A = this chain, B = another copy of it.
């Protein structure tokens, strides 16, 4: 039965000068996209912005209104450049308060490690009023959810753990499935037929990605994406028939989840 419910959508806001300077390679976007899709949430936009409060506030307000969920990564540590919690509080117009449960977790973590809970570390207990904490099993300083905004760490290991923790709570639609076909034809050879198939199946997201071999050889990967696996089988078979009709060899996968 084809799924006709509206898509559940999300955006990602990546906060951090280190991404924009090229010093750090972001990997949270692709991880989030794949994880969200498993629970039927489609990542529709991402933005990378610097550690500047006014810009963070603006981007949060634009994106949380436009999509069902907004995720942020980065800027929740103890140093002066960690200003995400302040910015989110300002965006949702709630006071930023020391959260007793967050404080307790930090106290326990640092006591166990034999380290001092400095004033800077205590900053990580400041959470917008009424927000729900998101567990951080690695360094204890929690993320949080307020309204439809999920505030996660930027360190990938911690971000992954936080996402595991909240994934089950997201109200998603049907996950998008995909079918991938590789062939040894040029993109320009299959383009016209592919466009015709796209016109016939406008509801399927058909992407075409070329690869340029060392010896000038061609490879094109055609990716079909939709929530309905039967439809992907049908469209994939049409693409395979096109490739064979054009004299190409096709290597096709069945259905997967990305």
Judged by a CB distance under 8 angstroms, whether A93 is at the interface is no
Contact A188 B29 (CB under 8 A): no
Contact B80 A22 (CB under 8 A): no
Give every chain B residue within 8 A of A231 (Cβ-Cβ): none
- Residue from B31, B45, B77, B189 in contact with A47 in the complex, judged by beta carbons closer than 8 Å: B45
Contact A187 B48 (CB under 8 A): no
Contact A118 B48 (CB under 8 A): no
- Residue from B32, B194, B211 in contact with A79 in the complex, judged by beta carbons closer than 8 Å: B194
Contact B120 A191 (CB under 8 A): yes
A9 to chain B, nearest CB (A): 11
A242 to chain B, nearest CB (A): 12
Give every chain B residue within 8 A of A139 (Cβ-Cβ): 210, 212
A29-B48, A47-B46, A138-B212 known; A80 vs B198 contact (CB < 8 Å)? yes
Judged by a CB distance under 8 angstroms, whether A238 is at the interface is no
Give every chain B residue within 8 A of A22 (Cβ-Cβ): 29-34, 37, 43, 258
A47-B46, A77-B187, A155-B212 known; A37 vs B21 contact (CB < 8 Å)? yes
Contact B20 A192 (CB under 8 A): no
Judged by a CB distance under 8 angstroms, whether A179 is at the interface is no
Contact A17 B188 (CB under 8 A): no
Q: In chain A, residues 188-210, which have Cβ atoms closer than 8 Å to a Cβ of chain B? A: 188-192, 194-195, 198, 205-210
A20-B44, A22-B30, A47-B46 known; A208 vs B115 contact (CB < 8 Å)? no
- Residue from B34, B79, B115, B121 in contact with A195 in the complex, judged by beta carbons closer than 8 Å: B79
Contact A23 B77 (CB under 8 A): no
Give every chain B residue within 8 A of A118 (Cβ-Cβ): 188-189, 191-192
- Residue from B48, B77, B178, B190 in contact with A46 in the complex, judged by beta carbons closer than 8 Å: B48
A-side interface residues toward B, CB under 8 Å? 16-27, 29-34, 37, 43-51, 55, 77-81, 113, 115-121, 123, 138-139, 155, 157-158, 176, 178, 186-192, 194-195, 198, 205-212, 216, 223, 225, 258
26 A-B pairs with CB atoms under 8 Å apart are A17-B205, A18-B209, A19-B29, A20-B44, A21-B33, A21-B37, A22-B29, A22-B30, A22-B31, A23-B30, A23-B178, A25-B30, A29-B48, A45-B47, A46-B48, A51-B207, A77-B210, A78-B188, A80-B194, A81-B206, A115-B188, A120-B187, A120-B188, A120-B195, A121-B188, A155-B212
